[in-house]
Amino acid sequence: MNMQLYQRSHLFIDGQWVTPAGRGVIDVVDPATEAVIGHVPNGNEADVDVAVAAARRAFDPLISVPERRDRLARVIAALEKRLPDIAEIITREMGAPVRIAQTVQTQVPLAVANGFAAVLESFEFEERMGNSLVLREPYGVVAAITPWNYPLYQVVAKVLPAIAAGCTVVLKPSNEAPLSVFAFVEACEDAGLPPGVLNIVSGPGRVIGERLACHPDVDFVSFTGSTTVGARVGELAGQSIKKVALELGGKSANVILDGADLATAVKVGVGNAFLNGGQTCMAWTRMLVPHNRYREALELIEAAVGRYTVGDPWDPATRIGPSASRSQFDTVRGFIERAQGDGARLLVGGPEPVRDVGFFVAPTVFADVDPDSELGQEEVFGPVLAVIPYADADDALRIANGTPYGLSGAVWAADDDTAIAFARGVQTGQLDINGGPYNPLAPFGGYKKSGIGRELGRLGFEEYLQTKSLQLKDAR
């Protein structure tokens, strides 16, 4: 384990590490020890303006496809070399257990990056439609605003398709986990991107994020974070009629239909709900179980939760590390305390801290959760699972669709056809069918208050392209 302090005193703008106009620094805290492990610049609006100007100068709307492929390949190669170091940083800055940091937190972003390379290799940027030639062109200057829970993944999911499309980027990382993002930018520097193609400005969201969202020279804002902040980003971006993609909150349902393999559905469902300490927007945080199998399901859940050890994120046996910050720790404990007051039955865990030092919350399960209660409706973003019984398939569908969100979820049934038929009625952007594996080429995004637009694969790539139609005299 590397105990160095990560001292970041410069921003990367126009191909150089520059002294920021903003004063002071933002401390980065290890949530397992509560010790300051580094800092990043506290940028201001002037820094945003300089970065956007650099991105605007670097933007070439006629950039060739071979040049885009070359840039993307160089970035992926440079990033892959740095993944072990980035994994270590992620464990330190946001508490991801080392087994998660070395796999989900870093190898999944690499798979996503290679997915974009595959898309770019075969994508047709020109298409004939009758007497029209339809062109797909780079959108322009992109503002990418990313969260702390999967710091590398979220950056890769925005910056890599932007580069592949021929866009230029100003990147604003979270304040809780920015160090891994600076390491990503160093990889892009190693890759030799032209000056201004990628710029990073760290600082307060209400300053940096808001300036990016309303900046007249930003063409497209891609934001991942809370629904409340996403609404503010959309409001500001709308003032200058710029494109917005929002990947926001979720309260996803894991629907176990009668006849499903209950043991497998529960085991996988608990693991999904607690992945990354529950700090996952697409976590299946509501488990819906038929009445006639409810007692059996609760017994299986208790047994499964017992395998989720909480502790030192550097211990390979640890499956749940700390909440990423004091604020998140307090938020999760507040949800647990209020759920107890709302009448939900505490099955496992509770609000008491697991350790004297660090932001550790026990994996917690509530049974008999009212679907309309706070715990049944709102995103906790911690290791808290709500178990809800239902009467029949119609009741299950009503409950599954009965929140403001629609990001992810799962359906388990005796066969895929039954599960797919049910899934067609669920208002959500992505559903796993009987444990179907993650696919980095499949589009990801939400219905309702879970967002606008899609990320990943071809559809995620197309978000970064404008469409132009040339009407020709003669049709072919």
Tokens of 460: 């995620």
Residue 347 host element (H or E): strand 345-348
Whole-number Å distance between alpha carbons of 419 and 264: 15
Half-sphere exposure of 440 (CA within 13 A, CB side): 19
Active-site residue flag, 214: no
Residue 354 phi, psi dihedral angles, 5° rounding: -80, -30
Of 88, 281, 379, 463, which residue is the catalytic one? 281
Question: Is 137 exposed, middle or buried, given 0-12, 13-18 or 19+ CB atoms closer than 10 A?
Answer: middle
Of 176, 210, 247, 379, which residue is the catalytic one? 247
Residue 230 phi, psi dihedral angles, 5° rounding: -60, -40
Whole-number Å distance between alpha carbons of 28 and 175: 7
Rg (the chain; Cα; Å): 23
Residue type for position 12: F
- The dihedral sign for the CA sequence 165, 112, 183, 277: positive
Active-site residue flag, 463: no
Whole-number Å distance between alpha carbons of 262 and 267: 8
Whole-number Å distance between alpha carbons of 230 and 221: 11
Active-site annotation, residues: 247, 281
